[in-house]
Structure 1
Amino acid sequence: MPSTSALSRSTAKSPESEKITINMGFVDLGHIDLLVAEGFYSNRTDFIRTAIRTHLATHAEVLRQAVTRKMLVLGLQRFSAADLEAVHAAGEKLQIRVLGLAVIDPNVSPALAIAAIDSVTVLGALHASPAVKAALAGRIR
């Protein structure tokens, strides 16, 4: 079965980030606000992004090994109707493995998605129509 690396990457514009929500204790939040007020960070978001990047850098080698071991495509991977039709016409099915953003174009029908995609593993975000996500629900890991 082909992996996602067999498909070409699209240069179409996609979102650069995904919004997340976290709950924090009041004291931790106060500490962040104090660091912002003291000029260490421009705002709460700057602090949180910096903290996350620092923590990820601490584990960079473990992450690199895991990406390699799990055969994940890093970054953005877009799947067009033409890509999926070609896979289906070849009698194959995709095993999508992405660390970052996987996009299944809005014009992909649920039937085509089912016919061309065997499994979906996305560490990050999956953007697809609600109908395609519902059709692939049993194949998303």
Structure 2
Amino acid sequence: MANNVTDIRSKATDSEKITINLGYVDLGHVDLLVQEGFYSNRTDFIRTAIRNQIERHSDVVRQAVTRKSVDLGLRTFTREDLEAAKEAGQMLDVRVLGLATISPDVTPELARATIASLTVLGALHASAAVKAALADRIK
């Protein structure tokens, strides 16, 4: 695995906001468990439930990550990284499970010249111009 990949769980403040729709009865059960002190709030319950499901399927996740050659965690692509790939005549097939970041100083032209495909299971942080330049390569 690349040396600039970090375990995503080590950064508790790095998160992506999601919205879910939940039935009233399920929501009532969550609120009851919070009220009874099992969880500090609804978010704590939801995070715990998600982590339990990920752990429950951990073997499948590990196998898929290995099979698909996915970087797990936080992966940053700097201008220097992409310029080095360009100098070497390489096109990158980027696969990240977690957070992929393309540095703000990366130009759309440099991104197109060096990134052949981009698959992110999680979140992609890049400038709007870079995202637009790679739109046909993002899966």
Residue of structure 2 in register with 1:135 after alignment: 133
Residues 89-139 of structure 1, C-alpha deviation per residue, up to 9 Å, x if partnerless? 111111101111100001111000000100001111110001100100000
Residue of structure 1 in register with 2:28 after alignment: 30
Question: Percent identity among equivalent residues?
Answer: 66
* Structure 2: gaps of 5 or more residues: none
Runs of 4+ in 1 over 4 A off after TM superposition: none
**Which residue identity does 2:84 align to in structure 1?**
A
CA separation of 1:48/1:10 partners in 2, compared to 1, >3 Å: closer, same or farther?
closer
Secondary structure of 1:126's aligned partner: strand
Task: Check whether the contact 2:97–2:121 (CA below 8 A) recurs between aligned residues.
Answer: yes
Aligned length: 134
Shift of 1:10: 7.2
**In the alignment, is residue 91 of structure 1 matched against residue 89 of structure 2?**
yes
Secondary structure of 1:100's aligned partner: strand
Residue of structure 1 in register with 2:4 after alignment: 9
Taking only aligned residues, the RMSD between alpha carbons, in angstroms, comes to: 1.5
Question: TM-score with structure 2 length normalisation?
Answer: 0.91
Residues 72-105 of structure 1, C-alpha deviation per residue, up to 9 Å, x if partnerless? 0110110001110110111111110111110000
1:66-105 equivalence runs, <5 A = 66-105=64-103
Question: TM-score with structure 1 length normalisation?
Answer: 0.90
What is the distance in 2 between the residues matched to 1:17 and 1:33?
23
Secondary structure of 2:47's aligned partner: helix
Secondary structure of 1:76's aligned partner: strand
**Which residue identity does 1:44 align to in structure 2?**
R
1:15-54 equivalence runs, <5 A = 16-54=14-52
Task: Check whether the contact 2:97–2:120 (CA below 8 A) recurs between aligned residues.
Answer: yes
